[in-house]
Amino acid sequence: MKFVDEAKITVVAGGGGNGCLSFRREKYIPFGGPDGGDGGDGGDLYLIADKQVNTLIDLRYKRHFKAERGEHGQGKLSSGSRGDDLFIKVPVGTEAWDDDTDELIGDLTKEGEELLVAKGGWHGLGNSRYKSSTNRAPRQTSNGTPGEERSLRLEMKLLADVGLLGLPNAGKSTFIRQVSAAQPKVANYPFTTLYPNLGVVTMKDVRSFVIADVPGLVEGAADGAGLGIQFLRHLTRTRLLLHMVDMAPADVKQDPVESVRIINKELEKYSDALGSQDQWLVLNKMDLVPEDIRDELCQDVIDQLNWQGKVFRVSGQSGEDCDQLCGEIMDYLDDLNEAEQAKEDEEQAALKAELAKD
């Protein structure tokens, strides 16, 4: 299936039903009072996160959505029924933006989470509402108000623990095939990965994490070059970046050190947060580097970059040292989870203590 991570749609909530103009007319009661009922409220329009939906592709073919309007009021003080709400299913990880104001409406990050994007119109009033001591037979009613209409831009961001960085042909797709059940296309030409891939890495002790392989970045990616800025957004939700470097490039002019600098420059241009995110250096394709120069070559890259973070030497093709890397990733994520849980527990305890004082 084609991966679609952005779509524009128009949503219109249901309009409110009109109030009714009616008077009670029954046998022996020829001049009854007003009995016009109110209209019903219009239906609201929601987005709902559904883990069974993987892309926004369906919204490329149906772009207009309208909730049900409220029914009009009737005589005998009968109010119109409320219009049914309309729910649009979107992938977990979808952001909704107002396309006219560029305002973020909401972010759906959990299964079943709902987001109101268009409010239904209010019901109109029947003439019975206008009866007073000075107006015993009002002929006044009001119409329901229109439902809210909005142009939305939906953006899907993959929810992954780890993001893979690297220039085209750095070996990211081969690596993700090696460590997970994902099967991205692999070939020796740039931009093999045209759409993001998610892989679940399961450890022997059943712990697991999700890794995202996004299309290879090139110089100018933050400005739309190559496969462009549209895939950089997927890295913003990750908790760790693996910067994969081709240590045996087919093009001898391709410098591993310059490759790293190009990518990090693009990350910083895209956002400060992404540029400062935790990042590990993964020197890939070590099986193609002669053993007698491996240590010297790797140390030279580390020294030129003045790299202070963790460094790993692997081969996505042969699987060399991939298990060790995945084990360290899992331990790192576990430590993050424990720290976050401890902070949350501390905040809860502080809140309880504050409430106890009151």
Could you tell me the pLDDT band of residue 199, with boundaries at 50, 70 and 90?
Answer: confident
Q: Is the pLDDT higher at 201 or at 64?
A: 64
For residue 189, name the pLDDT band (cuts at 50, 70, 90): very low
Look up tokens 């993959």; give the residue: 158
C-alpha span between 79 and 40 (Å, rounded): 6
Q: Is the separation of the CB atoms in 178 and 60 below 8 Å?
A: no
Per-residue pLDDT reduced to its tens digit, 124-183: 999 999 999 899 999 999 999 999 999 999 988 777 889 888 887 788 888 988 888 655
* pTM, rounded to two decimals: 0.65
User: Average pLDDT of 25-44?
Assistant: 89
Under 8 Å between Cβ of 193 and 184: yes
Sheet architecture: strand order including 94-98: 64-66, 6-12, 149-156, 94-98, 103-108
Specify the pLDDT at position 225: 46
Determine the distance from the C-alpha atom of residue 170 to the mean position of all C-alpha atoms in its chain, rounded to a whole number.
Answer: 26
Tell me the pLDDT tens digit for each residue of 279-295. 999 999 999 999 999 99
CA 180 to chain centre: 23
| Mean pLDDT taken over the chain | 86
Strands 86-90 and 45-49: parallel
Phi, psi of 281 (to 5 degrees): -95, 125
DSSP conformation class of 69: P
Contact indicator for 330, 161 with CB cutoff of 8 Å: no
For residues 118-128, give the mean pLDDT: 97
Helix (H, G, I), strand (E, B) or coil at 204: coil
Between 191 and 257, the more confident residue is 257
Residue 99 confidence (pLDDT): 95
- On the question of pLDDT at 187 being above 70, the answer is no
- Return the H-helix or E-strand segment holding 107: strand 103-108
| 291 φ/ψ sector (left φ>0, alpha ψ -120 to 50, else beta) | alpha
How is residue 13 written in tokens?
Answer: 């909530």
Other beta carbons within 10 Å of 241: 23
pLDDT computed for residue 228 by the predictor: 46
